Every structure is written in structure tokens, then in C-alpha cells.
């Protein structure tokens, strides 16, 4: 399977597509943002004129889009993937969307004789660039087996979590844990600062103990440096938490911590920080405590 279509060349999709090209796959790409397409074409990809145009020449179509409505439009809409795809085409949606939307899109794809996996990722732009994303997949085992090696070009772990929708359910669980963890790190560093202990000392003292985490190691230094250049933006995390809360309501799973962090992120959005990295959640606590945790 050498011919791959790639739709969605944003902050995550662009480096993911580039890694596939470096691995020797032939890509045909499309995005509504022309400069992103131009960059990939300059690197050797073929230019797609539409979602359908990408699909007609591809055995595998990968989509990496902002949210459920964008995926539905790209796949099911006029001149969408299903308008161009041949029976047997595999669609792998790597967007982070509502699991129910994944199931709905899959049902329509199967009516056309196509197959679908939902395969959202975790790791942000840095891991998209170096090809070490964590990829969580939902769908049928035999379809997964056909594309696992391709997905492994973009990720260090590729895990089949269950049937269609399971990938996005797992991603929502991931985003709940990340959000709560960032909030806890923020809360703890502000506590230390107000009590007269340097946040850097707290971080170094506890990072190797039970409180240590990948999230802490990635985000605490950013908080202390005041570096909020986005690896994963607040507005995207708001989108994911919205999907988590909606899914929780649908299945009867209470998410009180998620709801609390959502309100903190909404404060950040209201105060102009929505395009910053989600580590800027510390700003919420700094504002409450009238302090900061900078070195």
C-alpha cells in the first residue's frame, strides 16, 4: 500500500504527512489552506484538488482535521472522500472527534464498500515532527493489520483499543488526564510560590517520585519559563473536553474534574489566551493568587 491520500495539513497533519513521505510513501494531499499544500508539493507530494480527488487515486486516505463537523464534511459532504473512493479504500481518521461521529462516518463508508478506523493521536507538534506520537485506534482487527506499519511511521506506539469509536474514546480519556494533570501542576507550583518555596525546587524534588509524570516534565518548565508557544493550544483542548463532556453525558459517566478544568480554560479563552499552549493554564491560578511561578 504505497499510494496514500492525506487531508488536513495543519500543525499536526503537516509533519505527519512529511514523515510518511520520508518513509517512501507516495502522497496526494489536500487542505483548504493553499500554502500548506504548496509546501508538501514542493517536498514531492502530488496536489489534490479536492477531498474526492485525493480519494480517487489512493488506497488509503488519512484525515487530520479539527473536529467532528470538519470530518463529516470532508468524508461525507459534496465532493468528499466517499465521492471519490473506490470500494476497498481504507479511511483512517486521525482527528480527535466525538466517538459517536466516528461511528456515524464509518457506517456511511461501509455502505460504499470502504473501511474506516478512528486513530487519534497524543503528543502534540513535537512528537508529530519526530514521529513518536501515541496512536489510539478503533476499528476491525483485519483493517488495523493492513495499516499498522504505516501508522507506525508516525507514532512510537500504535494500539488497537476496540471497535470503531474506541480510538476517540481513549483519546478523550487521555485528554481528561492531561488536563487534570496540568491543572494540578499549576495549583501545586502556585501553592509553593505563595508559601515561599521556589517552584523550580519543588519540581526538581518531586519529579522522580510518585507525583512525577510526562505531563509535569513537559509543562512545568514551560510554566516557569513563561513559554506558552503552543505544542497543543488551549482552544483545541477546549474542543476535546467538550467532546469528553458530551460523551460522558451520553454514556452516563460523571466528569466533575473535567468540567472544572473546562471552566478554567474558558477563563483563559475569555482573556485572550486561547491560542497559547495548554500549559498556560497556570495563568488562571496565578491570577487567583496574584503571583507567578517564573524563575
pLDDT tens digit sequence for 118-136: 999 998 888 999 999 999 9
pLDDT tens digit sequence for 87-116: 999 999 999 999 999 999 999 999 999 999
pLDDT of res. 205: 98
Cβ atoms of residues 234 and 276 within 8 Å: yes
pLDDT tens digit sequence for 231-267: 889 999 999 999 999 999 999 999 999 999 999 999 9
Cβ atoms of residues 55 and 78 within 8 Å: no
- Res. 74: pLDDT tops 90: yes
Cα-based angle 223, 10, 26 (whole degrees, multiple of 5): 130
pLDDT of res. 28: 98
Residue 230, SS3 per DSSP: coil
- One of 18, 56, 171, 219 is an active-site residue; which one? 171
Residue 10 DSSP label: S
171 is catalytic: yes
pLDDT of res. 1: 73
- 233 has which bridge partners? 277
Q: What is the 3-state secondary structure (H, E, C) of 45-104?
A: CEECCCHHHHHHCCCEEEECCCCHHHHHHHHHCCCCHHHHCCCCCEEEECCCCCHHHHHH
pLDDT of res. 231: 83
Give the whole-angstrom CA distance, residue 26 versus residue 107. Answer: 28
Structural domains of the chain ordered from first start: 3-163 (3.40.50.720), 169-289 (1.10.1040.10)
pLDDT of res. 32: 96
pLDDT tens digit sequence for 172-221: 999 999 999 999 999 999 999 999 999 999 999 999 999 999 999 999 99
- Res. 274: pLDDT tops 80: yes
pLDDT of res. 2: 81
- Res. 80: pLDDT tops 90: yes
pLDDT of res. 116: 98
Going by C-alpha positions, the residue among 154, 86, 87, 84 that lies closest to residue 119 is: 154
pLDDT, the chain, mean: 97
Cβ atoms of residues 65 and 31 within 8 Å: no
pLDDT tens digit sequence for 209-233: 999 999 999 999 999 999 999 988 9
pLDDT of res. 187: 98
**CB-CB neighbours of 132 under 10 Å:** 13
- Res. 3: pLDDT tops 80: yes
pTM value is: 0.92
Amino acid at each position: 500500500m504505497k499510494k496514500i491520500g492525506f487531508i488536513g495539513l495543519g500543525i499536526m497533519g503537516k509533519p505527519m504527512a512529511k514523515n510518511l513521505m520520508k518513509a517512501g510513501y507516495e502522497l496526494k494531499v489536500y487542505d483548504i489552506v493553499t500554502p500548506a499544500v504548496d509546501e508538501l508539493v514542493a517536498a514531492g507530494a502530488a496536489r489534490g484538488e479536492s477531498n474526492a480527488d485525493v480519494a480517487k487515486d489512493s488506497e488509503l486516505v488519512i484525515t487530520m482535521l479539527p473536529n467532528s463537523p470538519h470530518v463529516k464534511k470532508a468524508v461525507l459532504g459534496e465532493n468528499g472522500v466517499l465521492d471519490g473512493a473506490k470500494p476497498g479504500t481504507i479511511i483512517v481518521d486521525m482527528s480527535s472527534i466525538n466517538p459517536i461521529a466516528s461511528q456515524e462516518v464509518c457506517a456511511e463508508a461501509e455502505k460504499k464498500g470502504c473501511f474506516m478506523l478512528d486513530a487519534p493521536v497524543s503528543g502534540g507538534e513535537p512528537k508529530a515532527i519526530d514521529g513518536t506520537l501515541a496512536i489510539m485506534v478503533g476499528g476491525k482487527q483485519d483493517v488495523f493489520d493492513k495499516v499498522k506499519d504505516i501508522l507506525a511511521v508516525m507514532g512510537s506506539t500504535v494500539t488497537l483499543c476496540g471497535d470503531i469509536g474506541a480510538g476517540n474514546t481513549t483519546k478523550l480519556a487521555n485528554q481528561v488526564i492531561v488536563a487534570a494533570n496540568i491543572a494540578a501542576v499549576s495549583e501545586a507550583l502556585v501553592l509553593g510560590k505563595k508559601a515561599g518555596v521556589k517552584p523550580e525546587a519543588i519540581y526538581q524534588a518531586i519529579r522522580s517520585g510518585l507525583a512525577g509524570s510526562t505531563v509535569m516534565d513537559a509543562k512545568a518548565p514551560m510554566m516557569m519559563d513563561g513559554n506558552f508557544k503552543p505544542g497543543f493550544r488551549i482552544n483545541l483542548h477546549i474542543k476535546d473536553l467538550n467532546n469528553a463532556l458530551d460523551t460522558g453525558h451520553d454514556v452516563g459517566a460523571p466528569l466533575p474534574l473535567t468540567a472544572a478544568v473546562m471552566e478554567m480554560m474558558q477563563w483563559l479563552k475569555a482573556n485572550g489566551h486561547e491560542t497559547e499552549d495548554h500549559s498556560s493554564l497556570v495563568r488562571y491560578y496565578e491570577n487567583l493568587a496574584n503571583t507567578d511561578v517564573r524563575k
